[in-house]
Amino acid sequence: MNIYVGNLPNTVNESDLREVFQAFGEVSTASVIKDKFSGESRGFGFIEMPNKGEAEKAISMVNGKDLKGRTAKVNEAKPRTDSSRSGGFGGGRRY
């Protein structure tokens, strides 16, 4: 199960996330999303846990808890859509 973790402080890294979620089961991957220009954290990340039961328990236990001074927002990640990337130059204007 893919888990979204939001409201992360800039000091949290992948190993911090992995450590928090490993308390509830196996973690396949842990990633903190970074700005492609500055390299700084964008304040959210993702955890992949293969066991759905462990993942659901982790979500319920970590959501709303303090994570290095900020309240974590945790839920099942929604599939990414590319609808916000469509358009471009006005989408459909005719010249």
User: Does residue 66 lie within any of the structural domains?
Assistant: yes
Dist CA 3 CA 43 (whole Å): 14
**Which residue matches tokens 């599939």?**
79
CATH number, domain with residue 13: 3.30.70.330
User: Does residue 30 lie within any of the structural domains?
Assistant: yes
User: Does residue 64 lie within any of the structural domains?
Assistant: yes
| Identity of residue 56 | E
Range of the domain at 57: 2-78
pLDDT digit string, tens, across residues 10-21? 999 999 999 999
User: Does residue 95 lie within any of the structural domains?
Assistant: no
User: Does residue 84 lie within any of the structural domains?
Assistant: no
User: Does residue 31 lie within any of the structural domains?
Assistant: yes
Overall domain count for the chain: 1
Count the residues in the chain: 95
Angle formed at CA 85 by CA 2 and CA 45, multiple of 5 degrees? 30
C-alpha distances (whole Å) from 68 to each of 16, 17, 27, 34, 86 are 10, 11, 20, 18, 37
pLDDT digit string, tens, across residues 52-89? 999 999 999 999 999 999 999 999 999 877 655 555 55
pLDDT higher than 80, residue 32: yes
Q: Is the pTM of this model over 0.95?
A: no
User: Does residue 7 lie within any of the structural domains?
Assistant: yes
